[in-house]
Structures are given as structure tokens and as C-alpha cells.
Amino acid sequence: MSRVLVTGGSRGIGRAICLRIATDALARGTLPKIVVTATGASSDLQDVVAALRELGAEATAAPGDLNDPSFPARLVAQAGEFCGGLDAVVHNAGGAIAGSLLKTKVQDWDTVFAVNCRAFFLLGVAAHRPLRQSKGVLCAIGSSAAETVQPYLNAYAPAKAALKMLVQQMAYEWGPHGIRVNCVSPGLTLSRSTESVLNDPKEQERTGAQIPLRRIGYPEDVAGVVAFVLGPDAAYLTGENINVDGGLRHIGTESLLNGGSADWAAHDAARLRPESA
């Protein structure tokens, strides 16, 4: 898969996915063409495009807000034009406006569902024709929160659970069209959402010691599984959710994040909440 659109690709897991896709395509002797999007034209978005070009890929940035229901179709059209078609769409964009259910605003609930779940639906519908032509792949980045109750994940956990079911529905309906649809669900991974409490190596060690594989996850762990899902070895895989969590879903996260939970809960709010809120 060398013609790929990646949402939420400017940092962390998304960046690692972009670089892994490019590296694998080049290793196969094909030219990767990658469109990367994130909310706003940040320096991080330009940096990942520059890194992709340095590797030898053709890449471009397409900033925009996936809360806008008209943006996914425009994004897919732009990606198809740049790439000359599409082989895959990876929806990594997401995040939480975390807190307790009793304190959750309807606007925040809708925003979290829009970014994490609705955007994947709209991207899939918009990309259906080019992916049908290429026998391509849709890959959603989910979360272990879809299967385990965790603190502060009022709308986020239900949104990721809905995303997992949406993947199954898409796989069922679009399998006859040659389109594969799968979900890759990270556990506690060092990323934009968790860096406020996991950047400290001592905290990483303390937290990782309680996970069955005795470490936290890193963006490259997720990117490797995404590369498999997009690649030829997964040609008969569709409608699946692959947990990349070191076994975390068997124990939960409340005790792991400890006193840092409140810091994590507040981290994504400013980024996702509309300015008018």
C-alpha cells in the first residue's frame, strides 16, 4: 500500500504510522505517496511531511478540522488527486475531553464522537470509490478503552466502542467490494494524549512494571501492526480489532496512572473543545 491518507499524523502514533508506511513501501521498491492531516497547520505537521520527503516519499500536508462534517470528503478528494488514487486510509485522529459523565457537556460529547467515530464513517464513504478500485484498506485507530472501563473517559470510551462496531459494519457491507476494514487499538502508549504523565522515564518504568509485558507502549509498536494490517500478509483479515496493549485490557489503568490521572484528563480538552465552548 503506497498511496495513503493518514489523519492525526503530525505527532506520536500518527507520525510513526506515516514513517513506517513510507519505509515499508520504499523497501518494496514502490514510491510512497502520503497525505497527512491534522487540526491546524502546525509545525509538527510540516515536520512529518519533511521527514517523509527526506526518506524519499512524496508527501503533503492537508490541515483541517474533522469536526466539520464537510471536511472528510474534501480531504479524500485532495488525497486522491495528490496520490493518483488511494490504497489506504488510516484514521488516527482522535482524543478525549475527559471528565465524569455528570459533568459532561452535550457539545463535548458530540465533539468527541465526531472526531473519533463519525469522521471515520465520513472518510470511509468518501473513499469508497477509490478504495474499491484499488481493493484497498480502511484502518481505524481505536483504543483499549473500548473494552475496559477507565477513569475520566466519559464520551471517549463509548466513542471508541462505537468505532469498533462501525469497523465491523463497514467490513460486512464493503467486503464484497474488495475493501478490507480493520481496527488497531493501542493500550497505554506514549503519545500526545499521555505525554503529560508518561514523559518522565521513572513514571514510564513504574507504569510499565504493572503491565503484563512490563513496559508501556510506544508509537512504533502501533505503527508496526498498522503496517501489517495494510500489507499483503493481512489480505484475508477484515472486520477485526487488534489490541496492541501489552495485555493492559486485562488489568485496567486507574492504578497505573495513579495521581497523574487528573493531568491526563485535562490534556486533550483545550485541543478538541471548540473555542466557543
- Name the band, by pLDDT with cuts 50, 70 and 90, for residue 270: low
Active site residue 105: no
Return the DSSP state at 94. Answer: -
Residue 57 lies in a domain: yes
User: So what's the pLDDT on residue 255?
Assistant: 55
Domain count, the chain: 1
- CA separation for the pair 18, 7 (Å, rounded): 10
User: Mean of the pLDDT values across residues 82-108?
Assistant: 95
Return the DSSP state at 176. Answer: G
Beta bridge partners, 138, equal 89, 181
Q: Pick the catalytic residue: 2, 10, 156, 193?
A: 156
Each residue's pLDDT tens digit, 195-219: 667 777 888 888 888 888 999 899 9
Residue 127 lies in a domain: yes
Question: Who wins on pLDDT, 166 or 248?
Answer: 166
- Name the band, by pLDDT with cuts 50, 70 and 90, for residue 53: very high
User: So what's the pLDDT on residue 3?
Assistant: 98
pTM for the full model? 0.89
Residue 199 lies in a domain: yes
Each residue's pLDDT tens digit, 228-240: 999 999 999 999 9
Residue 277 lies in a domain: no
The yes-or-no verdict on residue 194 having pLDDT over 80 is no
Q: What is the CATH number of the domain that holds 245?
A: 3.40.50.720
The yes-or-no verdict on residue 25 having pLDDT over 60 is yes
Active site residue 261: no
Burial of 43: CB neighbours in 10 Å, binned 0-12, 13-18, 19+: exposed
Burial of 61: CB neighbours in 10 Å, binned 0-12, 13-18, 19+: buried
Q: Pick the catalytic residue: 2, 10, 33, 143?
A: 143
Active site residue 236: no
Q: Pick the catalytic residue: 10, 160, 164, 193?
A: 160
Domain membership of residue 99 as a residue range: 3-272
Indicate the helix (H) or strand (E) that contains 60: strand 58-61
Question: Who wins on pLDDT, 115 or 205?
Answer: 115
- CA separation for the pair 174, 123 (Å, rounded): 14
Q: Of 74, 265, 58, nearest to 157 (Cα)?
A: 265
